[in-house]
Amino acid sequence: MAKKQTFEQAMSRLEEIVMALEKGDAPLEDSLALFQEGSKLIGTCSKALDQAQQQIKLLVQGENGPETVAFDGEEA
């Protein structure tokens, strides 16, 4: 099983993919494979950002002011 990438690793790889696609010199099949990988990485990064946003909301929206609440990643 592959090790789960951190957000920073996923963003770094996504930047590499964008630069490679912008160069425009890769064969069509390689470009499509890079595009597919990039699409998956966008989903991964988006999910990580959504979870971080939910954690911030939970921290800020306590009943008696700011408080820390455990967040399990599931929608309420």
**Each residue's pLDDT tens digit, 6-56:** 999 999 999 999 999 999 999 999 999 999 999 999 999 999 999 998 888
The HSE-up count of residue 70 (CA atoms within 13 Å, CB side) is 1
The HSE-up count of residue 58 (CA atoms within 13 Å, CB side) is 15
Of 14, 62, 67, nearest to 38 by C-alpha is: 14
- pTM tops 0.85: no
